[in-house]
Amino acid sequence: MLDLKIINGNVFIPGSGFFNLEVGIKDGKVAVLGDSKDMPEASETVDAGGNIVMPGVIDPHIHLGIFGEFAMECEHETRAALAGGVTSAGVFMGGGESYLPQLGSLIETVEQKASADLFFHLSIFTDEQMDEMDECYKQFGVTSFKFYMAGVKGVFPGVTDGFIYEGFKKVASMGDRAIACTHCEDQSVIDIAFDKVAKEKPNGTLADWSETGPNMAEEEAIMRACYLAEQAGNRLYIVHISTKDGADRFALLRKNENCRVYGETTSAYLSVNKHDPFGLLGKMLPPLRDQADTDGLWENVRQDNIDTFGTDNVSMTKAVKQAEAGMLGAMPGYPILQTHLPAILTEGYHKRNVPIETILTKATMNPAKIYGLFPQKGTIAVGSDADIVILDLNKERVVRADELFSYGDFSLYEGKTLTGWPSVVVKSGKVAYKDDKIIVEPGTGSYLRRTL
Ligand SMILES: [Zn+2]
């Protein structure tokens, strides 16, 4: 007897295609894939109504606990994630302290509060943190480490190429399932650009803010990061590529087979730009760009030069965002998890005819493979976790922030129609989201320990 079966679905298996199969689930795992005649009885049946049945989306890039308490954000933002079809997410952790004394209780919080599964990437700023990378793996199953080529002005500094090279060698020594991530912007270029904009246009617009991070600063840093990874011999993942120039350059660099690099862009860079009406609510690092950048990023998605889609979600309320404090005073970041998949489908599939297989593979299997979660995650196969989305590809919905699950009270898509929304989300074998309601309790999500 199965716990759950999903019938009448067009099942998407990344790398293989679409199949008319039923999915049988038991004990949180996919137990059977087959025709209705092969399918045992189940205590619960969900009729997909001919819609796509796909693996849960993996958002490899979110932040929790920056502007709100970690536990609170863990609870609320993973519910927003689930409602958007995101069943697993990678959380970038930061700060200058040793991670070893912190990780145990953070993982406990995830197990108690999260509704989606979470894994951690550790940002490495100090020698102490670098020395403890092996131990963070042994005790807590962390296999990904981030290096900021540029910091956030007034918050934390970036690290030098020498430090990054040492860190990359350390990642290389951990083996081929370990990976380094880099935020690619050249510190000196953006410092000069920032000072100029801050002086000349202190009350600037979002378009002026964009000038604080020139495109070439990203492109140049991507070149350096790829070079350092080639020298150190580690796998490298470039987070949030935001410019056409950066993506085009990355496409050339990855042709070098001595360089094992993966690239991410975000749903925001793929769907909104610096001229959009939300103004300074869109302040971000790296900044939102031009329409030409969005177009260039999509072209690179289509050509398979970009591997994954993240959100870089940083939730906060409008009161904390302080858009009214002006270009310099407003905080960077926005809540965007629940609209991640719909925004990508609207811009990529509906507006640009990017093949649905391309989009869904980059949203599911690719991040699972890159971060050592495959085939537990990122596919629908016997034995894989039953994290499954029934996707209504043509469902239109006007975005209203007050109807979304984030505790953040604004959306970059406010009043816009996005097309392509999850109708049902199954998490760990249970129907978790249906009819715009979350029907599981906090703690349904787990911490994902990874192995080398
Ligand atoms: Zn980030």
Residue 154 confidence (pLDDT) above 90: no
Query: For residue 110, is it within any domain?
Result: yes
Predicted local confidence at residue 379, as pLDDT: 98
Residue 298 confidence (pLDDT) above 90: yes
Closest CA relative to residue 9, chosen from 292, 25, 446: 25
Residue 257 confidence (pLDDT) above 90: no
Predicted local confidence at residue 57, as pLDDT: 99
Residue 63 banded pLDDT, cuts 50, 70, 90: very high
Query: Residues 287-313, buried b or exposed e (16+ Cβ, 10 A)?
Result: bbbbeebbebbbbbbbeebbbbbbbbb
Query: For residue 330, is it within any domain?
Result: yes
Mean pLDDT of the chain: 97
Distance 318 CA to ligand 1 centre (A): 19
Predicted local confidence at residue 411, as pLDDT: 98
Here the CATH number for the domain that contains residue 150 is: 3.20.20.140
Distance 305 CA to ligand 1 centre (A): 20
Query: For residue 67, is it within any domain?
Result: yes
- Residue 187 and residue 212 in contact, taking contact as beta carbons nearer than 8 Å: no
Distance 43 CA to ligand 1 centre (A): 41
> pTM to 2 decimals?
0.98
Q: Read off the tokens for 398.
A: 């006007």
Distance 63 CA to ligand 1 centre (A): 6
Q: Half-sphere exposure (CA, 13 Å, Cβ side) for 344?
A: 30
Local structure of 133: helix, strand or coil: helix
Residue 387 banded pLDDT, cuts 50, 70, 90: very high
In angstroms, the CA 233 to CA 225 distance is 12
Query: For residue 209, is it within any domain?
Result: yes
In angstroms, the CA 179 to CA 368 distance is 13
Distance 333 CA to ligand 1 centre (A): 9
In angstroms, the CA 312 to CA 254 distance is 23
- Domain enclosing residue 287, as ranges: 57-370
- Mean pLDDT along residues 368-376: 98
- Mean pLDDT along residues 136-162: 94
Query: For residue 10, is it within any domain?
Result: no
Residue 153 confidence (pLDDT) above 90: no
- Residue 210 and residue 288 in contact, taking contact as beta carbons nearer than 8 Å: yes
Closest CA relative to residue 77, chosen from 404, 422, 423: 404
Distance 128 CA to ligand 1 centre (A): 22
The number of domains in the chain is 1
Residue 308 banded pLDDT, cuts 50, 70, 90: very high
Indicate the DSSP class of residue 252: H
Distance 432 CA to ligand 1 centre (A): 27
Residue 80 confidence (pLDDT) above 90: yes
Predicted local confidence at residue 12, as pLDDT: 98
Query: For residue 29, is it within any domain?
Result: no
Query: For residue 451, is it within any domain?
Result: no
Distance 316 CA to ligand 1 centre (A): 14
